[in-house]
Amino acid sequence: MSLRKIDEKIAIPNLADFQAAVPKWESIQCRLVTPMYGGGVKSAEPDIQQPIRVTAIRGQLRFWWRLLASQKVFRLPENLNIRQAEFALWGGMNDGDESGKASAVFLRIKQFSSPKKIAYFNQWDNDKKTRLRNRNKELLPNSYVLFAMDSEDDPNKTNLIDKDLTWDLEWYLDRNADIFWSKKKENGQEIRDQFLTEKYQDTLSQVIETLRWWTTFGGMGARTRRGCGAFMVEKSTLPEIQKAISIDEIQGANCKLSVANSNSNDAMDAWKLAVKRLRDFRQGVNVGRNEPSPEAKAARKPAGRSRWTEHDAIRRLTNQYPNQHKPEHEGGNNQFPRGMFGMPIIFYFVDGGEPSDTSLQPVGKERMASPLIIRPILQNGQWKAAALLLPHDFSNLQVELKIDNNNRRPVVLLDKGKANDIKPIAGNGGGDPLSAFMNYFANPTTQQSD
C-alpha cells in the first residue's frame, strides 16, 4: 500500500499563528472588604453556592464603561454613538439588530473561597420591634444603609455574605471579534481582510480603564452605592489595573471625590465613618436636625425638628399638623432637596394629627439611583472613607409627592432662590445639597440650634 503524496499547492499552516490565536486570560484576585447584600438570582438574597456571578460583573462593567464613554474619556469610532459602541463591545441587542451581538470581552470566575453568611438580625422574630432590638451589633452603625431589611418578611433576605470572601476574575478581549477586522468582498461574499491592531489596542485600553474604575469605586451585590460589597484587588496580571485613579482623571470624567481626613487599617471602620457622615448630614443633631426640645428629651426622642424642608412642606401641602409641629421652615412648601440623594424617599410622621406616610419619587418611575457613591478606598496602604459624586443633571427631571394612591402632586427638588434657607446647605458652602455634602464629608461642621 503506497502513501498518498501531499499536494504541493496546499499551504501548510504556521503553528505560530495558531499559538497567537489562543486567548491569554488575564487575572484579577479580589477580596470583599465590606459585607455583600443580595447578589443572588433571587432579589435581596445572597447565593451561598455561587456568591459572585459573571452576569453581575458584566452589568457593573457596562455601567462604568458608559459613564467614561459619556464623559469622552474614551475615543469612540466616529461612525458609532455610545449605545452602538457599547453593544459592539459588550454585546446585546442593538436597535434594528434582530440577531444581536456577542460580547468581545470574555469573563469567568475561576475560583472563590467558601463564603460565610452573617445575619442582620441576631434573632428572627415576627414582631418587628423585637427584631430591631436584636439587630446585629457589628452592623448596627450601618443600619442606615441596610434599613430595607427591617421590613422584610423573609429571614433569608436579611442575610449577608461576610467580608473576606475572595475570588479570581479572569478576562480577555477577543481578537477574533468582528469589530477588530476590516472586511472585503470576494466572489460576491464579504470576508475578513486585515486585523485592526490600533483599534484593538484602543479597545483594550477602554476595558482596562473600565476595570480600574470598577475595582476602585464599584462593588458586588446590591446597595453598592452605599458601600455594601466593596472589594479590593490583591493582585492582577496587568499591574495598570491597580494604578490609583488620580484627581485629574476623576475631574476629567466630571466626577468629584471627597475623602475624610482619617486613616484606618480596617476597611469596615472607614465604611462606617462614610455612612456616619451621610447619616449626620441628613439627620444628625446640629447638622440635619435641631437638638431635641426639653419635651422631646423627656420622651427620649433622639433629635429635634429637621432642618430640611420636606416635612414642613408636606404639612403645608396637606394642611395637617398638630400645634406643636406647625410648619415653620423658611425654605418654602415645595422643595424636596434630599431627593437628589436618590429616590424614592418615604417620609414618616409619628405624632397624632400629622400627615400619613408620604413618598417622593420621579414621575413615571419607581426609583432614581443616587449619583453619590460612598465606600472605603485604599490610599497608600491605608483605608479612607470616600464619597464619589457622579455626573448628574436634574434640570429636566420631574418629581412628584405621592400622598396616597389618588393624590399625587408635582414638586421640585430644589428652589435655588431658597436653597440657602436650608441650614445643612448654607453651612457647608451653599448651592445644592450634593455639593454641600461633599464639602461636609471632608470637613464636617455643626451649627447650634437657634
Q: What is the pLDDT of residues 186-215, one digit of tens each?
A: 887 888 889 999 999 999 999 999 999 999
Q: Is pLDDT at 55 greater than 90 in this prediction?
A: yes
Q: Is pLDDT at 1 greater than 60 in this prediction?
A: no
- Please report which confidence band the pLDDT of residue 52 belongs to, taking 50, 70 and 90 as the band edges: very high
- Please report which confidence band the pLDDT of residue 17 belongs to, taking 50, 70 and 90 as the band edges: very low
How confident is the model over 107-127, as a mean pLDDT? 92
For the chain, which residues make up each domain, given as ranges?
24-116+162-245, 267-442
pLDDT in tens, 143-180: 889 988 998 889 989 999 999 999 999 999 999 999 99
CA-CA distances (angstroms) from residue 211 to 107, 204, 240?
12, 11, 10
How confident is the model over 340-357, as a mean pLDDT? 90
Report pLDDT for 79: 79
Residue 56, classified by CB atoms within 10 Å of its CB into exposed (0-12), middle (13-18) or buried (19+), is middle
Q: How far is CA 288 from the centre of its chain?
A: 24
Q: Give the least confident one: 17-21, 153-157, 165-169, 334-338.
A: 17-21
C-alpha cell, 23: 486567548
Q: How many Å apart are CA 225 and CA 391, to the nearest integer? A: 14
* Nearest to 387, CA basis, from 290, 287, 279: 279
Higher per-residue confidence, 76 vs 250: 250
Mean pLDDT score of the chain: 90
Q: How many Å apart are CA 335 and CA 129, to the nearest integer? A: 33
Report pLDDT for 6: 56
Q: Whole-model pTM? A: 0.91
* Nearest to 402, CA basis, from 436, 434, 364: 364
Q: How many Å apart are CA 39 and CA 52, to the nearest integer? A: 7
Report pLDDT for 18: 44
Report pLDDT for 16: 47
Higher per-residue confidence, 332 vs 361: 361
Q: Is pLDDT at 134 greater than 70 in this prediction?
A: yes
In the sheet that holds 358-362, the strands lie side by side as 345-347, 358-362, 399-404, 407-411
Report pLDDT for 21: 59
C-alpha cell, 439: 464639602
Report pLDDT for 73: 95
Report pLDDT for 10: 52
Number of neighbours of residue 155 by Cβ within 10 angstroms: 14
Q: How far is CA 414 from the centre of its chain?
A: 23
Q: Which residues sit opposite 166 in a β-bridge?
A: 31
How confident is the model over 256-278, as a mean pLDDT? 96
C-alpha cell, 316: 403645608
